[in-house]
Structure 1
Amino acid sequence: MVECPEPAAVNSDPSEEPALGVPATSTSTSPSGVGSPVPSVNVAQLGKRAAQVGGLAVAAYVMTAVAAGHGVAAADTGMSGDAGNAGSVASSAQRDTTAARDGDATSSSAKDRADAARSERRKSDADSANSREADASASQDANEAEAATDGEFDDASTINTDDGPAEESETDVDPSDQGSSTDPGTDSADMSTGVVDDDPTDTATSAAVGPTDDGSAQESETDVDPSDQGLSTDPGIDSADMSTGVVDDDPTDTVTVPDTETIELQPASAAYVSTVGTASSAAVGPSPASLPHAPLQTAADWTLLGWMRRTFFNRPPTVEYDISLNAQDMSNGVIIGNIGAVDPDGDQLSYKLIAGSPYGTVVIDQLTGDFTFTPTLSFARAGGTTAFTVRVSDNRFHLLSYLFSPDRGSPIARIAVPVVSVADPASSPALEAFEVEKVIEFELPDGVKVTGADLSPDGEQIILEVEVADGSTQIAVTNLDGGDYQCLSCGLVPNATKIKALYDNQRIWFASTNGQQSADDPLGGAGAITYMVLECGTSLHSCGQPTVKKVTFPSDRGLRRLLPTQNREAKPDPYGEYVTWTEVSFFTGPRMSIAKLVPTDGGYELVEQRVFSPQWYEDTNYAVDFANATRFYEGASWNAGGRYLKYQTTSDGLNYDIYLLDTATGERRQLTTDLDYNESGAMSPDGMSMYFSSARGLDRMDVFTALVRPSLLDVVAFPQIGRVSLWNNRRSMNEPWLMNLEAGQQVGGYSGQPIIIDPDWTIRGWSWFPDSTRALINEQQRPDTVTAGAPDTPWRISIISFPSRTATTPLPPVHQDPEAIATWSVPVKDYKPMIGRTETRVLKGTHSGTATLRYSGIFALGTYSVTYKDYSDDGKTFINGTEKVKIKNPMGNSVWSADLTSTGERTGYLTGKINIGKSNEFSGEVSSEINGVTYSGIPTQTDSPVIGQPQLAISSSGDRVQVTATVAEDGQPRPVRGVAVTVGSVTTTTDEQGYAQIALSPGDTITAVAGGFQTASQQVPSL
């Protein structure tokens, strides 16, 4: 039996593991404070005992031994299962004492045997087929050394025979120079049994430390440069093998082992020190004669215990990210850095991106941990700090971490990436002039009026939503001039809206509702919706016998049909092979899904449902990442031939922004970053521009969003606050904007431009022509006064063009790849919603502080709050206080309240309480202020502002004129291309940088005219 010392007497702290080399004398301390020798531990007996006890008993036994500090780590055999090489301290000492017996000649013999053993070990590492031969050689050496040991210590002389106090010496070893094993096949435990010196010029002299004549002990401490240690880099060597001796590979070295008498066997926690490649080397080991001989260990014994250590006591990786090691390319802002992950056992690491950055893309090298962050053009120009989150794993099981660590042995790190603003050789993207080609005059039957329009995929037909004489909404088709009217759905469905023609020009996807959309509905603002496909036998413009087929959703089947669920914003890809939609559950709120659209006998069915937002990692500790589960998501639509999915979600507290998902790569890009509400979107067929609608400049949401914070309550708060801010006191909810996708939007700025044709009308829909130079637009007249809902005013359909653009070829349409989809979505059965739980989570700020999240209830009924304590994501701004939402009944009676303060770089507050009732009614007060600027919103406004056309400005030098304009609230003049510049009878047009070359004379009048802008005139000054 192996007797284990009291666990409290041993320091098992990994930071105090023995250094490489030889144990020094150590004693354990009894409760009375009296030191007593630590009992000897034979690892072979421990391994044999482990094999006998059985699975659970083995685990408990090994756990106890490890905690007590015994040499369990030395039991691992590495890749070859070499018991002889794994060895014990005793076997190393036996070989050394054989050398001492015969003096120099014997030293040469010992050297020969050591060389032979090393040669066999190298062969074993290089070729696993020779491992058994290496084991036999090493075992034979051990047996010879043991046989030669008996009685040989009598001839050895003792060091330190002088009387006097002990002299203490330490050997400091810098592991960075040890040549430690970097091969992934090496278990770090194997590295503790030997040191290999590959330097052929070194001469090592070993000195043993023993008791003096008067009983006093002398300890040697020698400072060692670890760069000379030459530790093995062979992956087949487990670090436990390095703890039992020093091996010198130099064939020219002479090894002298001084005389010794008695050596005490030390526990695994004793300090190990070795000196290799210096003039002298200290070595201390147990005397074989003083210890009972254990039975020869078999490879099976070692393999079992090694497996136990690897399986249950493998140490998890750690992450120490050093931001100072990042390097930035100042030409484009690209950052190269390293995650800083290290595995103490030398296991190969893998990296998984849990959350990317909204301001760029991240690529991680799985072999090195190096990352490359490529910022968007606008973020590179503006500069700032962003972050991404990564999970690091060694793909091993960690028993202790699994039981006691939240990350279960796979640490999660938030990697902050500061980007220094790069020089911008060119100015901001130019604004562009546009013009109305024509307002379409439709030839309609009596009692029919147009309420919306879309283009056919080939750009040759207009697909209309029309209100017919019986008051229902139907699908019709005309040519581009408004003639050849044909109603396609009349008599087939009660209502038809949300129309979208497929690429085959034979099918139209649409929604059929049983009532007017209403913001009172607790599931997101619409009544019951059924989706259908209208099919024509030939083409849409000559559809003789159309048929309508219903689409069955997953929530329509099985037990799920009994649950209150609404399927909103459903849209097919161009080929009609996949459909995306927002599935809103009474219990868990919205989630965006994708599924295959397959035909059935009587219609269509959606199968293989997957969820692509929320995308979140449940075990994260960071609030900004956890917020991926608690944002409000909706509105996915296909763009650029199916290559991209556009969707909307809250990015910061109640701040609603547009994102773009690349369906081939899974990259997600945040397109808008301002404080207000942004939605909709239509990407140009060439992928260069994006139309979207926005409340920027209208200050509808700013009072709620100015204090930037994580979106931890948005999934329940936004539907309530949105009903207040977006449906009340408006002449239009949003204004139309156009963005250059290559440049993107600067953080908090407005890089797009408003598309205002007539201040009395607002654009509500947009369809690009295939060449990306023109668009079909839906305009609705503004009401004379503000309204509490959607205005019932006339519509008009127009075609606008951008004269300064050159016609381009559309991006080719793509068929969706199921394997690619699987990289950015999860099967619905694996999706775990956050809403609907009763849970409290304490989350960390990326920099510091906490956010305590308390959820109680379901999506349509419950209480939710978050309390911030010195919370900071950037180390510059800190948030304190509480925000809370209480939903009292499923029909929308709710209360929002906040008492938040912000200090540091952005100092201010958000405070207030709003009671929200049916029909979008509200009462209460709210106010916010950041850095002295007071923000407003619908609850604080008496009238709604309107965005006007930007004003042109003229400057001239010589015969060169530049025309610029300032976008609302941007404040920075930007060039305008396509402006007609007239001087006298001469007219020219501005280029990409807003310049026009034209002859000027003192006193001439320069006039600049551009569609979408207010005209400007300026006189050339006299000399």
Structure 2
Amino acid sequence: MRLQTALLGSIAWAQAIVHGNPTLSHRNDIVPPQPEPITITELPLPPVAPNTKPGSCTHNTGCLDRTSSQQSGNFLPDGNHVVISANFTGAPASPNPASIYTGIQLILVKTDNTTFPNGDPWKCVTCGVPKNNRVGSTELLSYPQAFNDGKRVLVEANIVSCGDELLTSEECTPEKVHIYPIRWDNKADGSGPGGTIRELRIHPDNLHIGFNSFGILNGKIDEYGYFSRLRFNPSPKSGTPRVPRYELVNVTVLFNKDTSLPFTVNGSDLIFKPDTITVGEFRGFTGSGKEVTYVGSPVESCNIDLFAADLKTGKVRRLTSHPEYTDPIDVSPDDKWQVILDTRETGRQMFLAGLRGIPPVTDMASVTVTASTRNNGARRFFEPWLLDHDGDRGTYFGQKINAGGDESPGSINDPNWNAGADPRWSPDGTRIVYFQNLVQEPACGGRNPLPCPKSTEQGGRTSRVMLAHLTSREPIKQQHVEPVSDEVPWGTPYTPGDEMPKRTYPGAGNYTLKGKNSGSASVSIIYGTSNLSIMTVGATYHDFSDDGLSFISGSEKVKSTPLSVTLNRVDWFSDIVSTGEQKGTKKTGPGGFHLEIDAMTNIFNANGTLTTTIDGEVFKQPANGT
């Protein structure tokens, strides 16, 4: 384990510019925590293979591919091991014993500077698993999560199990390991391979799982979150694969049909309710398992944030409010802290979302596009941030975990190393593990104006796993989480064969949205002629204010045209002025701002300009391809 640096992290940047917004239960009177000391170390990984040719790796327990991402997950319940999805290459051909170290595998890595009996600080759990023990399984690519029995790990849509043996024990040999597929029944007769599931997260009771699934609605990609019980079926009688498998049963869509969007209509009045449950993408659970976390509909225009909703009552908390983009999150076991990955401090989203207090009316047309600008392909711009239970408020926007470095090549805050989902807390709440990837082509180099950096890691590795030690904290006592109910009272029960639920939007027409404190906005909604989705939203603001401190005037209009299921084009015209506590503008150039971006690839390609200025600070859009 390599010590990189010790630091006292900074409270979030640009507080004079990024004004807080109290919308949705933000308690500005709660005193924020003081920054605390954090030490960053790097976890050991198998060596990098010289190349991908068979036999190029000479290490007895395998080598990793230089350019592949090694995705860390959570800790085993002992707190001394982290589960990681790793890509092995260069293994010799069979019958050499080392031939098993090939492809994407699940490994355990020591966090306490000790080694396994073979002398390595890592152990490959799935290398050499017999074919009959992994029938029907899929690639062990991402989001590895250990169960609290220390014997099983969820990886992608599979569960790796060592039966009665602990994964760390010498008795856990490849012959005892099974890789079981996870199946979601989506047809009334139980036939077929089941529904496509992604972004699975284990509930702390270890009996339930949340997941996401894509669908197509009105010609556009849409996504819903789900909650379900996990059940092992040793001999299924229907559906494929017809092998021992885990099944998702008693499924609930995390969707409330009565309040599917934060906007409702009363005559000619448009009413905004920010505490509406709007699960766009399910992200996990709080440490106690009482709440579900998710990316929800914006509370402020173009501002993509995280929320939590109580599984029983449906009460909503807004966890983040910084105008940058946040997505991955993990809540500490005692629910008192959260670690997020966010683009804050990079300025990536400020040209869109920097001006606070604009209601999210044009987002009805633009939200998919604005959410897609956070990345440049595989370059994510994410950094890890520490927030307390109450999240962003006032001028408190958390503590950057890897602050304090000099941003030199390979340093803990080298801007060319970006964090990947998901960061994870240790069981005792004193450490956080996360992984980083070094930017590579085409996100740099070639036709991209950004030069590609050289890796300072062993063998030129472009992925690494980091461990943040919160050195002033006392370990918390691990709590047993009682099983929760299968029922989510505010959700929609799912029966195999059900169609995807439909979100309800205001109809076409002209409306008035009143500010909670003063002023109003005149809103126009126009639907497309060839599809049933909203195409154009325009708004004119008349000293609109929710907080009574800043006032929005001017106009904005956004037209969204789907070019394919995932590719969208927006034509944007903005001339907004903010006065009062926040002085700023959000303006497009003379010909407007025109952006095409694919929600799956996130490559920025725009014509024209959209610029936000706040208290004299200018935020411009990224250059195309960066």
TM-score normalised to structure 2 length? 0.69
Give the partner amino acid of 1:709.
Answer: I
Say whether residues 1:844 and 2:513 are aligned partners.
yes
Give the partner amino acid of 1:536.
Answer: C
Give 3-state SS (helix, strand or coil) of 2:144's partner: strand
- Distance (Å, rounded) in 2 between the aligned partners of 1:686 and 1:451: 28
- Structure 2 residue aligned with 1:495: 139
- Structure 1 residue aligned with 2:413: 759
Give 3-state SS (helix, strand or coil) of 2:381's partner: coil
Structural mapping, 1:95-106, within 5 Å = none
Say whether residues 1:721 and 2:370 are aligned partners.
yes
Higher fraction of helix = 1
Instruction: Work out the number of aligned pairs and report it.
Output: 505
- Which residue, out of 39, 44, 53, partners 1:440? 44
Q: Is the 8 A contact 1:854 1:865 kept in 2?
A: yes
- Which residue, out of 813, 816, 828, partners 2:481? 813
Say whether residues 1:925 and 2:608 are aligned partners.
yes
Q: Is the 8 A contact 1:838 1:857 kept in 2?
A: no
Say whether residues 1:540 and 2:167 are aligned partners.
yes
Say whether residues 1:681 and 2:329 are aligned partners.
yes
Q: Is the 8 A contact 2:341 2:423 kept in 1?
A: no
- Structure 2 residue aligned with 1:936: 619
Higher fraction of strand = 2
Structural mapping, 1:439-458, within 5 Å = 439-440=43-44, 442=46, 445-448=61-64, 451-454=70-73, 455-458=75-78
Give 3-state SS (helix, strand or coil) of 1:647's partner: strand
Q: Is the 8 A contact 1:629 1:834 kept in 2?
A: no
- Distance (Å, rounded) in 1 between the aligned partners of 2:485 and 2:46: 41
User: What's the offset of the Cα at 1:863?
Assistant: 5.3
C-alpha distance 870-794 of structure 1, shift in aligned 2 (>3 A) = closer
Say whether residues 1:883 and 2:551 are aligned partners.
no
Q: Is the 8 A contact 1:881 1:899 kept in 2?
A: yes
Say whether residues 1:908 and 2:585 are aligned partners.
yes
User: What's the offset of the Cα at 1:637?
Assistant: 1.0
Structural mapping, 1:427-826, within 5 Å = 428-436=32-40, 439-440=43-44, 442=46, 445-448=61-64, 451-454=70-73, 455-469=75-89, 472-480=103-111, 481=114, 482-483=120-121, 485-488=123-126, 492=134, 493=137, 495-497=139-141, 498-511=143-156, 531-538=157-164, 539-541=166-168, 542-544=171-173, 545-555=176-186, 567-587=197-217, 589-600=222-233, 601=236, 602-613=244-255, 617=259, 620-621=265-266, 623=270, 625=272, 633-649=280-296, 650-663=298-311, 665-707=313-355, 708-712=357-361, 714=363, 717-727=366-376, 732-741=380-389, 744-747=391-394, 749-756=396-403, 758-760=412-414, 761-764=417-420, 765-781=422-438, 787=444, 794-818=462-486, 821-822=488-489, 824-826=490-492
- Structure 2 residue aligned with 1:217: none
C-alpha distance 694-485 of structure 1, shift in aligned 2 (>3 A) = same
Offset from partner CA, 1:509-545 (integer Å, 9 cap, x none) = 222xxxxxxxxxxxxxxxxxxx222222122224342
User: What's the offset of the Cα at 1:840?
Assistant: 4.8
Give the partner amino acid of 2:585.
Answer: G
Give 3-state SS (helix, strand or coil) of 2:537's partner: strand
* CA RMSD across the alignment: 4.2
User: What's the offset of the Cα at 1:901?
Assistant: 2.6
Give the partner amino acid of 1:766.
Answer: P
C-alpha distance 884-532 of structure 1, shift in aligned 2 (>3 A) = same
User: What's the offset of the Cα at 1:763?
Assistant: 4.1
User: What's the offset of the Cα at 1:675?
Assistant: 1.0
User: What's the offset of the Cα at 1:858?
Assistant: 9.2
User: What's the offset of the Cα at 1:698?
Assistant: 0.9
Q: Is the 8 A contact 1:433 1:804 kept in 2?
A: yes
Give the partner amino acid of 1:834.
Answer: R
Q: Is the 8 A contact 1:878 1:903 kept in 2?
A: yes
- Distance (Å, rounded) in 1 between the aligned partners of 2:539 and 2:337: 39
Structural mapping, 1:172-251, within 5 Å = none
Q: Is the 8 A contact 1:550 1:604 kept in 2?
A: yes
C-alpha distance 681-881 of structure 1, shift in aligned 2 (>3 A) = closer
Give the partner amino acid of 2:493.
Answer: P
TM-score normalised to structure 1 length? 0.44
- Distance (Å, rounded) in 2 between the aligned partners of 1:575 and 1:599: 16
Offset from partner CA, 1:617-660 (integer Å, 9 cap, x none) = 37554656367889782142123142332222333222111223
Q: Is the 8 A contact 1:703 1:926 kept in 2?
A: no
- Structure 1 residue aligned with 2:9: none
Give the partner amino acid of 1:723.
Answer: S
Offset from partner CA, 1:327-381 (integer Å, 9 cap, x none) = xxxxxxxxxxxxxxxxxxxxxxxxxxxxxxxxxxxxxxxxxxxxxxxxxxx9xxx
Higher relative contact order (CA 8 A, sep 6+): 2
Give 3-state SS (helix, strand or coil) of 2:77's partner: coil
- Distance (Å, rounded) in 2 between the aligned partners of 1:387 and 1:485: 46
- Structure 1 residue aligned with 2:458: none
User: What's the offset of the Cα at 1:549?
Assistant: 2.7
Offset from partner CA, 1:245-284 (integer Å, 9 cap, x none) = xxxxxxxxxxxxxxxxxxxxxxxxxxxxxxxxxxxxxxxx
C-alpha distance 702-552 of structure 1, shift in aligned 2 (>3 A) = same
State, as a whole percentage, how many aligned pairs show the same letter: 15
User: What's the offset of the Cα at 1:898?
Assistant: 2.9
Offset from partner CA, 1:888-935 (integer Å, 9 cap, x none) = 222515234233434554563333322315652513123233565454
- Distance (Å, rounded) in 2 between the aligned partners of 1:387 and 1:668: 8
- Distance (Å, rounded) in 2 between the aligned partners of 1:432 and 1:579: 33
Give 3-state SS (helix, strand or coil) of 1:431's partner: coil
- Distance (Å, rounded) in 2 between the aligned partners of 1:442 and 1:383: 44
- Structure 1 residue aligned with 2:241: none
Give the partner amino acid of 2:474.
Answer: T
Q: Is the 8 A contact 1:554 1:609 kept in 2?
A: no
Give 3-state SS (helix, strand or coil) of 1:720's partner: helix
Give the partner amino acid of 1:826.
Answer: T
Give 3-state SS (helix, strand or coil) of 2:314's partner: coil
- Distance (Å, rounded) in 2 between the aligned partners of 1:577 and 1:933: 53
Give the partner amino acid of 1:434.
Answer: I
User: What's the offset of the Cα at 1:830?
Assistant: 11
Q: Pick the structure with greater CA Rg.
A: 1
Q: Is the 8 A contact 2:87 2:105 kept in 1?
A: yes
User: What's the offset of the Cα at 1:782?
Assistant: 5.2
User: What's the offset of the Cα at 1:692?
Assistant: 1.0
Q: Is the 8 A contact 1:926 1:940 kept in 2?
A: no
Q: Which moved more, 1:832-841 or 1:452-461?
A: 832-841
- Structure 2 residue aligned with 1:216: none
Q: Is the 8 A contact 1:685 1:771 kept in 2?
A: yes
- Distance (Å, rounded) in 2 between the aligned partners of 1:936 and 1:615: 38
Give the partner amino acid of 1:552.
Answer: R
- Distance (Å, rounded) in 1 between the aligned partners of 2:277 and 2:564: 20
